Amino acid sequence: MKTPASLLLAAVLAASALPTWAQQPAASAAAPAAAAAPGASGLTVAPPQASSSAPAPGPGAATPSATAPNAVAPATAGVKVDVAAGEAKYTAVCAACHGAAGNSGTPANPRLSQQHDAYIVKQLQEFKSGKRPNPIMQGFASQLSEQDMKNVAAYLGTQKAKTGFATDKELVSLGEKIYRGGIQNRQIPACAGCHSPNGAGVPAQYPRLSGQHAAYTGSQLVAFRDGIRKNSPQMSQIAAKLNDREIRAVADYIAGLR
């Protein structure tokens, strides 16, 4: 499947092979927005590559954490993404539930800050189409165009997530065991294998999980398991093998991951 993210990646890679951004017709047609990319005026700068999921060959690759919240901007610079419009839309419509800058304080409403833009766009498309059924979000996503979705997702990707905490002392070590090592004799894979050891995920396929409200994470695992959320065969298969206690444990551990 050609996802927008793979197209973006292709655009970034294509652009980086050229001497300047300006010489790529698509980028220049995409207009002044491209000028927002750091290094757009430079000739040999590496930053656009640092934003892709491919390992960045440049010498600057050693400090990803400092730049992570901004990493989306260059990746989306090749298409017309308007982060300011995304912020305006988010603040007017979404912040009431998902919190300022995506840092929801309400356990049932997921935190969205620092989530990968491609994942957010996918979820919004699937709420809109009903592939991920949710009456609340279907309503809000239906009011968004593809462009709005990209704008809002780009904005959220640049917002720094606040850290959370695990709260269940009794379960947290079970949660850690599942997250880091899975449960071998029941073919339950380590969550870390896809979502990365610190829960930051891997753009664009594997969403960020760290710091998410345990109640939300738990509800999604139950929804995958019970066939209510059907937009990821991988996650349905994994969740099908987890019992309630294991779900509570791993969700609690994830809340404290950072």
The reply on whether position 70 binds ligand HEC by CB under 6 A is: no
Closer residue to ligand HEC (CB): 94 or 200: 94
The reply on whether position 178 binds ligand HEC by CB under 6 A is: yes
User: In the chain, which ranges are continuous DSSP H helix?
Assistant: 4-17, 25-29, 47-50, 64-67, 72-75, 83-89, 95-98, 117-129, 135-142, 146-157, 172-181, 192-195, 214-225, 233-239, 244-256
d(CA 235, CA 247): 13
Closer residue to ligand HEC (CB): 33 or 247: 247
Instruction: Tell me the closest approach of the beta carbon of residue 175 to ligand HEC, in angstroms.
Output: 9
Q: Name which of residues 130 to 169 contact ligand HEC (CB under 6 A).
A: 134, 136-137, 140, 144, 152
Q: Which stretch binds ligand HEC (CB under 6 A): 19-27, 34-42, 43-51, 90-98?
A: 90-98
Instruction: Tell me the closest approach of the beta carbon of residue 237 to ligand HEC, in angstroms.
Output: 9
Q: What is the DSSP string of 168-234?
A: -TTTHHHHHHHHHH-BGGGTBPPTHHHH-TTS--BTTTB---TT--HHHHHHHHHHHHTTS--S-HH
Of 248, 236, 38, nearest to 131 by C-alpha is 236
Closer residue to ligand HEC (CB): 48 or 182: 182
Closer residue to ligand HEC (CB): 16 or 162: 162
Instruction: Tell me the closest approach of the beta carbon of residue 251 to ligand HEC, in angstroms.
Output: 7
Q: Select from 96, 135, 145, 169 the one that contacts ligand HEC (CB under 6 A).
A: 96
Instruction: Tell me the closest approach of the beta carbon of residue 80 to ligand HEC, in angstroms.
Output: 18
**Burial environment of residue 95 by CB neighbours within 10 A (0 to 12, 13 to 18, 19 or more):** middle
Eight-state DSSP code of residue 252: H
The reply on whether position 220 binds ligand HEC by CB under 6 A is: yes
Q: Which stretch binds ligand HEC (CB under 6 A): 43-51, 77-85, 158-166, 218-226?
A: 218-226
Q: What is the DSSP string of 194-206?
A: HH-TTS--BTTTB
Backbone angles phi and psi of 94, in degrees to 5: -100, -30
The residue count of the chain comes to 258
Closer residue to ligand HEC (CB): 15 or 191: 191
Instruction: Tell me the closest approach of the beta carbon of residue 213 to ligand HEC, in angstroms.
Output: 10
Of 115, 85, 92, nearest to 102 by C-alpha is 115
The reply on whether position 234 binds ligand HEC by CB under 6 A is: yes
Instruction: Tell me the closest approach of the beta carbon of residue 170 to ligand HEC, in angstroms.
Output: 18
Interface residues toward ligand HEC, by CB under 6 A: 93-94, 96-98, 108-110, 112, 120, 122-124, 134, 136-137, 140, 144, 152, 178, 189, 191, 193-195, 205-207, 209, 217, 219-221, 231-232, 234-235, 238, 250
